[in-house]
Structure 1
Amino acid sequence: MLTVSSRAAAGTGNRLRSPNFMAKDTFASQQSISAIDALRAKYITTARDQIFETHLDRQFQRDAVGLLIAKPRKFTATGDTHGVILIEGAGGGKTSLVHHVLNNHPALQSDDPTCKPWVGVRVPSPATLKSLGLEILRETGYPSVSNARKEWDIWSLVRTRLKLLGTVVLWIDEAHDLFRAGKAIEDILKMLKSIMQGEGAVILVLTGVDKLWEMASYDDQVKRRYSKVTLPEISASTHDKMFRGIIKAFCEKVELVAPDENDLIDRLVYASRGRFGRCIENIHAALEAAILNGDTALTVQHFAESWGMNEGVVPGKNVFLAPRWAEIDLTQLHKPL
């Protein structure tokens, strides 16, 4: 049963709602929640996409008129390709960004069901070269492979499989986990390098948190072989208009009045640690709080409620409530005031 806010109750003269009214109200809220779920599934294109696309496009060959084609550029006489390493902190939205760009890239489209222009996997647990190789094979639809097979044999199958499917890009997400697994960094880089050499070589895209570049740039060869993308943090001063536009559009979708608090975006960006993905998640959560409360307008109170629940903080440390919110240390949220 939905919770009715004090304002909603006051609007009805504090009278109990009839069963029919409640049924309609519940149905309307269910529709709004479904609308929020639809918003969560919708990708938001920003200038960040273009940053990654620019790095990625340089890895493809072009045809006679300059259009990108589904063939990796070869940077050596022996047919070596290059790759891209994208770095961003947790919650920034890098996984959604890379998936969207690859899924919509003009050079990676194919109507052939036997062709898979790009393959994307997340480093599995336990994070080993063998488990990663098996995950890549699984993602390509290869029949189950015995875990007893040797590491080198599995990666030989990976190369063969990617070549057979006409794969141009291999994307490994959460790649930093692979380098933390205790395996010699040199061995990991050597194996990854092997799929970027010779016939059937692919463009390798690695995504992860800040430490990925530090771990991956083991030597100068890696720095030459990979283009590094560091997505900038979100700033309230430069992204205020963008976020207000997003919030307004979202509110229209769920039939809520958009908020007008002057410092809302400043608080939102700070509470989201300057990460784009977290900002969007916090907006979604606030919209849901407003709907479940039965309110007709989105306010900073809804952000405070949803963010406070998610972070598990007391009001004095709630960025959306505290007068001196910019002084709150987000790394010390659960220490006593």
Structure 2
Amino acid sequence: MTEHSVVGLPHTVRDTSDHLNTIGEELAKYYFTREEDDTLKKALDRLVKNAKQSPEARAIVVSGESGAGKSTLLGRAFRKHPAFPNFEDEGCQLLSVQVPSPCTLEELGREICEAAGYPFLGNSRSASVWRAVRNQLKAEGIRYLHLDEVQNLTETVDKNEGKKVRNTLRAMLIRKKHPVALVLSGPPVIVEFLRQDNQIRRRSEFVAIESLRQDDGEILVDTIKALAEEAGVGTEAHLAMDTVPRLMHAALRQFGTAVDIARCAILAAAGSRYRAEGEIAAEPCLTGAHFANEFAIRTGNAGFANPFVTPDWQALDCSLVQVTKIDGLASPSDGEDDGSKPIRRRRKGARQ
């Protein structure tokens, strides 16, 4: 067990529940850094530097499939950046807004106004709403705006509405009185949508969150072993050869999803230490069955459509059997100051 491992064993059913909750909280504090952390930090550095030196703002477009870990990556980058020391508190010059689903341009404007502390109750015309957005952002000193899940706005618009969306975003960047830098995140489809505007494309930096590759299995093995050690759980010898390849397939090769499934499977394994009679068993071991059960809980697929059960798992299209959305690992409250435990994750062959 690591230096920060959960210690002490419970004596009652209630103690058991509390103990498992504590383990879950400890596991959620882990953050596994990746190459994209450095890429995004440098992009934010350039965004902030430009905001201080140029009369026009720029944008960062962060794209990745669902479950890639975009929200966790961005949340941690915002909290750790010196330009946003009070992120998510009043007075921060960065405002983060999740685009509701479904969403129109007018509805997004109202959402931003409310997030900025000014619920818009006036004329419902889009132009009026966005005038209020610009005025409120200026009044609050907000110079950076993060819009998450941008596809909720872009996927349902026709050609004319799409042009209005791009015009509105571009206007935020080039407005003379109070330009606002943008961080836009969502699946890869938003990249094609935004690149249709030459000015947005020219003023944007694009950061792609890659899916796991076949040779990233070693990364997941190290990740799972670190989490299991924290929870006081052992791992099987064939973790790398059998379970992890199935996990990558089950998670659609998305790192955030894979880590979240593993974290929940480890917590279930930790719970198996405590028998119904209140007896404490020997150190539990994380097995493929724990992963299979977690996948079944999320999707309802416990048999032939479960990649941790079926022998022919490589032929299984997990995008068709995941009936519930699997999100990335919950964002930690961040920073070593509050107990988060960053672990360096490098792709095989990456430069040191």
TM-score, normalised with respect to structure 2: 0.77
Tell which deviates more after alignment, 153-162 or 272-281.
Answer: 153-162
The one-letter code of the counterpart of 1:97 is: L
How far off its partner does 1:138 sit? 1.4
Partner residue of 1:30?
Answer: 18
1:278 to 254, 257, 266: 257
2:65 to 62, 65, 89: 89
Partner residue of 1:206?
Answer: 184
How far off its partner does 1:320 sit? 1.7
Greater RCO, 1 or 2 (C-alpha within 8 Å, sep 6+): 2
Deviations 1:145-197 (A, max 9, x none): 21534322222222222223332320001111111233611111111111112
Partner residue of 2:219?
Answer: 242
1:320 to 308, 311, 320: 308
How far off its partner does 1:215 sit? 1.7
How far off its partner does 1:235 sit? 2.2
- 2:269–2:286 contact (8 Å) kept in structure 1: yes
Distance 1:263 1:333 in 2: 20
SS in 2 for 1:107: coil
- 1:72–1:168 contact (8 Å) kept in structure 2: no
1:260 to 227, 230, 237: 237
SS in 1 for 2:44: helix
Deviations 1:265-284 (A, max 9, x none): 21111111110110111112
Partner residue of 1:307?
Answer: 295
2:145 to 158, 164, 170: 170
Tell which deviates more after alignment, 227-236 or 307-316.
Answer: 307-316
Q: How does 1:47-62 map to 2 (within 5 A)?
A: 47-61=35-49
Distance 1:193 1:249 in 2: 44
Partner residue of 2:336?
Answer: none
SS in 2 for 1:229: strand
Distance 2:259 2:122 in 1: 40
Distance 2:46 2:35 in 1: 18
CA, structure 1 residues 110+280, in 2 after alignment: closer, same or farther (shift >3 Å)? Answer: closer
2:109 to 133, 137, 144: 133
How far off its partner does 1:313 sit? 1.9
CA, structure 1 residues 176+73, in 2 after alignment: closer, same or farther (shift >3 Å)? Answer: farther
Q: How does 1:5-154 map to 2 (within 5 A)?
A: 24=12, 27-40=15-28, 42-61=30-49, 71-74=51-54, 79-109=55-85, 115-142=91-118, 144-146=119-121, 148-154=123-129
Deviations 1:82-116 (A, max 9, x none): 101111111111011111111211122259x7622
SS in 2 for 1:246: helix
How far off its partner does 1:57 sit? 2.1
How far off its partner does 1:45 sit? 2.5
How far off its partner does 1:298 sit? 1.1
Partner residue of 2:166?
Answer: 189
Identical residues among aligned pairs (%): 25
SS in 2 for 1:115: coil
How many residue pairs match? The answer is: 299
Stretches of structure 2 that go unaligned for 5 or more consecutive residues are 1-8, 274-280, 323-352
Distance 2:122 2:224 in 1: 48
Distance 1:134 1:230 in 2: 29
Partner residue of 1:290?
Answer: 269
- 1:236–1:265 contact (8 Å) kept in structure 2: no
RMSD, aligned CA: 2.6
- 1:73–1:81 contact (8 Å) kept in structure 2: no
The one-letter code of the counterpart of 2:60 is: V
How far off its partner does 1:30 sit? 3.4
Partner residue of 1:5?
Answer: none
Distance 2:25 2:46 in 1: 36
The one-letter code of the counterpart of 1:159 is: R
Distance 1:208 1:72 in 2: 27
The one-letter code of the counterpart of 2:144 is: V
How far off its partner does 1:29 sit? 4.5
